[in-house]
Structure 1
Amino acid sequence: MNSAAIAEVSAAFPWFFPAVAFLVGACIGSFLNVVIYRLPAGQSIVHPGSHCACGAPIAWHDNIPILSWFILRGRARCCGRPYSFRYAFVEALTATLFLLCWLFFPPAKAVCVMLFLSALIAATFIDLDHLIIPDVFSLGLGVLGVILSFVVPSLHGHEGNLFIIDSMRAGVAALQGLLIGSGLVLWIALVAEVLLKKEAMGFGDVKFAGAIGAFCGWQGAVFALFGGAMVGTVWFVVALVWQKLAGRPSPVAPPTETPEGEPAPLGFGVHVPFGPMLAIAGALYLLFFQRAVAVWFAQVGELL
């Protein structure tokens, strides 16, 4: 469907494409739940089909994104065992982000950002569960970002000139973001390791920051790094205060481990995953802060 046809349908039925984006996002979110659970375990994300922890296959009418968890009240129909609300949350989150993409961006860029945000969601929850970011969501996502930038120059705001010129400019912007994003995190990790005399950041975070830069450009990579640090600080402090006041871990506390890799109670001096913080900041930049950050950097450039 070309842009003229999309505009015609949107004019006649303004709710149609936003509704489609939301429903597709919910379905993709359901698939992301499978990826989050199976990929770290080395299982196929395609076969077998969705099944309960007891081994029974899940019927299609019990696998409706978002709704099924509420209809079944969070319990499997086959055996009655409870299952996490996070399944419905991931589906609703993905659906909402897909809707925002469609509302904020032209169709081609919207699809690219949808792919990017889907990868961020999967990487976030895998990192929260296992303190790892699989290479498919770091190296693979970085390569995809560069390729899509050449194919869809509007991903980096280049459009209106000859396609080949816009394509080259967007591709260069993606490469700059990849190199600067990963380079900044790498240098910070190395300096912190020297000062703290222990590993301060995993190499997966370095690659993941580069992947974010490939989609967001170097300005987005810088924003993700420092914005992620702010998100992580707030998250950690809130979880720590909750633990002190309630006497038990916060339900949104990040997983923690000692430098030796052993589980540890929440506190200062333990390792927490930085990937989710980078992902949250990267998503915020692309959806809400891209123009404001560009203006800020332009003003700084004029002062210098």
Structure 2
Amino acid sequence: MDIVLAGLFGLVLGAGLNIIIIRLPRERGFGGPPRCTRCGQRLAWWQALPLAGWLIQAGRARCCGRRLDAIYPLVDALTALSVMLLYMRHGLSVSFCYITAVTAVLIVTGAIDWQHRLIYTLPTLGATLAAGAVAFIVPYHSLLNAVLGLLVAGILFVVFYLVARIMFPAHRAPFGLGDVYLGMFIGAALGLTNLLGALLYGMLLAGAFAGLIVLVRRIGRRPTPQYISYGTFLCVGALLYVLIWGLAGPRATW
């Protein structure tokens, strides 16, 4: 029964994250009734249900008939699944609350970057400071671990940023300052002990996706993205890492 309640909590949390994902890039307030992301018409209560509303409408807005973005039910499902897995691993504990909050930041940041190629500076830095501030009460974490993770990630990602600017001086660099801030958040949130593993997951996912794009271009000759949202893969990689290993990391199984 507890795991069912955790899943329901995850769905509600996912719905809240979707409000941020939808409204923040559009510079809309977080109050007011939910509206169709295509035509702006006010939604009926059942259309706004997390995950179920999208499924009932079969992926098309009932009000205007246009296709709804699949990222929103994906956020609902991913958040619910993440919360359930975290609850199964940690129970109702400090670790559960902390990693759930980190998961929420990663999902929101990854979704917005996927849609808009945009990572917000102030919210990301605020989340970084918050992660560092509470690190001392989190098992397998500490303030020193958070600070070292932040510093190492900051230095590493600044180097990546400068290399990208040098390699693509006349074009939009594939690696921006937003990715630097995101890397610093991951470093502070997961600590130096987990930083390299989390980044490795993200880089492998980004490399695999880039390889898939190249393959589709050569074989299928279909339209493909010119750029990949690198921040999204960093978020997914960090999320996968923390769901699999927790903050204890692989060393806990040695």
Question: Under TM normalisation by the shorter chain, which class is it?
Answer: 0.7 to 0.9
Aligned: 1:112 with 2:98: yes
Give, in whole Å, the separation in 2 of the partners of 1:235 and 1:200.
Answer: 14
SS of the residue 1:128 aligns to = helix
Amino acid at match of 2:242: L
Give, in whole Å, the separation in 2 of the partners of 1:153 and 1:90.
Answer: 26
Highest CA radius of gyration, 1 or 2? 1
SS of the residue 1:230 aligns to = helix
Could you tell me which runs of 5 or more consecutive residues in structure 1 were left unpaired when the two chains were aligned: 1-14, 159-169, 257-270, 299-304
List aligned pairs for 1:120-199, cutoff 5 A. Answer: 120-150=106-136, 152-154=137-139, 157=140, 170-194=142-166, 196=167, 198=169, 199=173
Amino acid at match of 1:285: Y
Give, in whole Å, the separation in 2 of the partners of 1:282 and 1:86.
Answer: 19
Is the CA contact 2:128–2:185 (under 8 Å) kept in the aligned structure 1?
A: yes
Identical amino acids, percent of aligned pairs: 28
Look up the match of 1:90: 75
Alpha-carbon deviation of 1:211? 0.3
Amino acid at match of 1:288: I
Is the CA contact 2:133–2:143 (under 8 Å) kept in the aligned structure 1?
A: yes
List aligned pairs for 1:237-248, cutoff 5 A. Answer: 237-248=211-222
Alpha-carbon deviation of 1:187? 2.1
Amino acid at match of 2:116: H
SS of the residue 1:27 aligns to = helix
Q: Greater relative contact order (Cα 8 A, min sep 6): structure 1 or 2?
A: 2
Look up the match of 1:249: 223
Look up the match of 2:60: 75
Give, in whole Å, the separation in 2 of the partners of 1:55 and 1:187.
Answer: 42
Give, in whole Å, the separation in 1 of the partners of 2:125 and 2:50.
Answer: 29
Give, in whole Å, the separation in 2 of the partners of 1:19 and 1:295.
Answer: 28
Alignment RMSD, CA only? 2.3
Q: Deviations over 1:235-284 (max 9, x none)?
A: 1111221233222135xxxx43xxxxxxxxxxxxxx53221121122112
* TM-aligned CA distance change 1:220 to 1:21, over 3 Å: same
Q: Deviations over 1:163-184 (max 9, x none)?
A: xxxxxxx112111111111111
TM score, norm. by length of structure 1:
0.74
Amino acid at match of 1:34: I
Which of 27, 31, 44 is the matching residue for 1:47? 31
Could you tell me which runs of 5 or more consecutive residues in structure 2 were left unpaired when the two chains were aligned: none
